[in-house]
Amino acid sequence: MRGIRDPRLVPIAEKVMAGERLSFAEGLVLYETKDLPTLMRLANLVRERKHGHKTYFVHSIRVSQTNICYVGCTFCAFQRRFGEEGAWDWDVEEVVAWVKARYQEGLTEIHLTAGHHPKRPFQYYLDLVRALKENFPGVQVKAWTAAEIHHFSKIARLSYQEVLLALKEAGLDAMPGGGAEIFAERVRKRIARAKVSAEGWLEVHRTAHELGIPTNATMLYGHIETLEERLDHMERLRRLQDETGGFMSFIPLAFQPDGNQLARELGKKEFTTGLDDLRNLAIARLYLDNFPHIKGYWATLTPELAQVSLDWGVTDIDGTLIEERIVHMAGSPTPKGLTKEALAGIIRSAGRIPVERDALYREVRVWDQVEA
């Protein structure tokens, strides 16, 4: 590869072009280098090697059945206590009615994540999955983070395997990747002290994969974590993926500095910079060599930066997200949803091929081809 300005990137580029795995030390070089054009070209090389110009999105609706939560993560602006202004707590019938009111033709994914409700029994969640499958046949249910699965195991006094098997039998198709935050204990104690541990999060996903439930993985960045802690997070995910192969995509989530305790404690008002977001995505694409997809989540990046990220290793920009709430309550200035046409247009304008997928990354429709 010609035009490499940082000599430290020469051996890394040789490994990438040969399809060899990068070491932890080489990953740190990627975080340190100022040669961003080379970083971009390397990430794009891997992206096109894996998927060509195809770029994926999903027609999905985001549902949060409650924002009642006892965990108290300091980065969260979503959680409420009983009786607090803005709190909601829906019965199964109310969730179904909410989805029916917003249902659109061709919807393929219902995505559920919510608070850790202290009083709902585990049976409620089984009934909810069954009701969604019965009322919206053919739509896949991608539901509940590893943190929520850990919560279910506590209230039901069941193992992770027993909880996940019961949810799968009720109709669960896949799991989102939230709740991972940053695995480093130092950070976790500060931002998510009462949430499932890193080891617990990884064990839930390991168990899900063993039961044939595919999942995604996330990383919340841009707050108090170090660059070494970001890479450590990816390293642990890479090891688990080597073991199970059950992850579909990795989604870096930029910290939203509004309406939450952590932002107030840090005096932080600035969002992550575009270059930090793009560098992070490119490093993820290069370091997580065993992950099929790196997702540029437009709801936190903005649609414009998500479009640019398609040259930085990204092959998925998530979906229509009908009425997303969690990141928007934390200050995200992006729309609460985009149409399929808008998403396809973002991808097409970047010179890529828009591919509508389902929750399991099966192709639903290739929207059109892009001239070379």
Residues with Cβ within 8 Å of 192's Cβ and at least 6 positions away in sequence, in order, are 71, 73, 74, 75, 181
181 assigned binding-site residue: yes
Give the tokens for residue 61. Answer: 């609706």
69 annotated as ligand-binding = yes
Does residue 5 come out as left (phi exceeding 0), alpha (psi in the -120 to 50 range) or beta? alpha
Question: Is 84 annotated as ligand-binding?
Answer: no
Q: Is 75 annotated as a binding residue?
A: yes
Angle at 295 (CA atoms; ends 197, 328), nearest 5 degrees: 75
Q: Burial code of 142-167, b = ≥16 C-beta within 10 A, e = fewer?
A: bbbbbbbbbbbbebbeeebeebbbbb
206: left (phi over 0), alpha (psi -120 to 50) or beta: alpha
- Residue 242, class by beta-carbon neighbours within 10 Å (0-12 exposed, 13-18 middle, 19+ buried)? exposed
What is the residue-wise DSSP string for 225-261?
--HHHHHHHHHHHHHHHHHH--EEEEEEEE---SSSH
For the sheet with 54-58, list strands across it: 316-319, 54-58, 353-357, 363-366
CB atoms within 10 A of CB 172: 25
Strand-pair category, 60-63 with 109-112: parallel
Ligand-binding annotation for 73, yes or no, is yes
Return the residue matching tokens 């198709």.
Answer: 173
Binding residues for [4Fe-4S] cluster: 69, 73, 76
Binding residues: 69, 73, 75-76, 181
Binding residues for S-adenosyl-L-methionine: 75, 181
